[in-house]
Structure 1
């Protein structure tokens, strides 16, 4: 895919030295989160994207009312009225997030769905001022999604901050341009917990990387940046 038709995508994460990303139990100091946020801000990204489970605390909980009308809602993208210049994006194929509003800290919310979501849910999103994009009929086509983000919202730089499966899906689709890894001074040692990239069982979609930056940060953290090699 021509990169001019999609955002430049940076996967920014805090893994352990053995590549695990579930931080519960690591006992990281508050400075660890501060380092993550401060390094993320240096990218001056237009948007950040995560999955449904990670987005739930931001979305909140509310009731989805049943519509009074039976008129079907077309499966076309919806761009809510907003004046934001940065975006919070959720991958929510089945439409399970119950948004309290269409913004998170002044960032406009975009949710990415499949066409199998209900009309009640689409009407709910419209009422909350949440923009939505369709990424496929029953499964998300990430190439299509990121092209829409560039075309419809002008997003040129996107931070990917997902779980192992989402990051792995972007890796498999060859949509990651850069890795930004803020290694925590922790050896996790667990088996079966998510790692940076969990694309599929067996042999994965290996990508060659080129190191271009390495910097010691507070709290014995190490910030390492790679470009993904192509061609």
Structure 2
């Protein structure tokens, strides 16, 4: 299916007809948002993943105390639990999310870091029972991250619901297996706001898709599903 022992990755998003994804000014109806969740549930995924900025409202705000012990904390993965029914995964390379809890609606939290984060922050995550994985020294190796998620937590199917840069990074690394978009009946028209995939300036990492299905949903949404051609 996807070669290496990593989760099957489905990028699931609600873009406008011109590919923009900042929905705050669109005045989407509650029924439209519910339709997004309903279609997401049909994939029966083990986990979902978003970036730091998108995760902030879910994480809450807590204080990261300074440690009273001088011993350094080794840069090894910390697994608080492996038996959750579902996982909420945050890409937070610099360690800025101040978690109030180790779960979001009973979904266990996993945060993905680089080795540049402080010992105080690692101690804070351990005290909260938040699992963390290291994805690299200064930058995240997304393939390595996915393989760890599969090995340590048994995650087989993951919904990628990131911003343009995160989605673009996965696209560039050829780590997306399926694309699911609920095209909103909105023409955004903005310039310079995030789009479905924002990988790099100039020529992007072009990927070819195969249409799997299309379906009209409530609220004039059009649900398109594609597989990535390998």
With the shorter chain as reference, the TM-score category is over 0.9
- The answer for the alignment partner of 1:222 in structure 2 is 222
- Is 2:104 the counterpart of 1:109? no
What corresponds to 2:150 in structure 1? 150
Aligned CA distance change for structure 1 residues 158 and 82 (closer, same or farther; 3 Å): closer
| 8 Å CA contact retained: 2:113, 2:140 | yes
Quote how far apart the aligned CAs of 1:82 are: 5.8
Distance 1:3 1:32 in 2: 35
**Structure 1 pair 8/82, CA: closer, same or farther in 2 (3 Å)?**
closer
Give unpaired runs (5+ residues) of structure 2. none
Alignment partners' CA distance in 1, 2:81 and 2:191: 45
Query: How far apart, in 2, do the equivalents of 1:133 and 1:218 lie?
Result: 39
RMSD between aligned residues: 1.1
Q: Does structure 1 conserve the Cα–Cα contact (< 8 Å) formed by 2:2 and 2:8?
A: no
Alpha-carbon distance between aligned partners in 1 of 2:133 and 2:59, rounded to the nearest angstrom: 17
Q: Which runs of 4+ in 1 moved over 6 A?
A: none
**Distance across 1 between alignment mates of 2:81 and 2:136:** 24
Instruction: Return 5+ residue gaps in structure 1 as ranges.
Output: none
How many residues of Structure 1 are paired with residues of Structure 2 in the alignment? 230
| 1:7-37 superposed Cα distances (whole Å, 9 cap, x missing partner) | 0000000000000000111121111100000
Measured after TM superposition, the shift of residue 83 of structure 1 is 3.9
Tell me the SS of whatever aligns to 2:144.
helix
User: How far, CA to CA, are the matches of 1:222 and 1:2 in structure 2?
Assistant: 27
Q: Does 1:140 align with 2:140?
A: yes
Q: Does residue 42 in structure 1 map to residue 28 in structure 2?
A: no
Q: TM-score with structure 2 length normalisation?
A: 0.98
**2: distance between equivalents of 1:205 and 1:177?**
15
Q: Tell me the residue number matched to 1:56.
A: 56
TM-score normalised over the length of structure 1:
0.98
Separation (CA, whole Å) in 2 of partners of 1:227 and 1:111: 27
Matching residue of 1:209: 209
Partner of 1:28: 28
1:93 corresponds to which residue?
93
Please tell me whether residue 164 in structure 1 is matched to residue 164 in structure 2. Answer: yes
SS of 1:32's equivalent in the other structure is: helix
Question: What are the Cα deviations for residues 79-119 of structure 1, in whole angstroms up to 9, with x where unaligned?
Answer: 01364121000000000000001111110000000000000
1:186 — aligned with what? 186
Structure 1 residue 3 displacement after superposition: 3.0
Q: Any residues of structure 2 matched to 1:62-73 within 5 Å, and which? A: 62-73=62-73
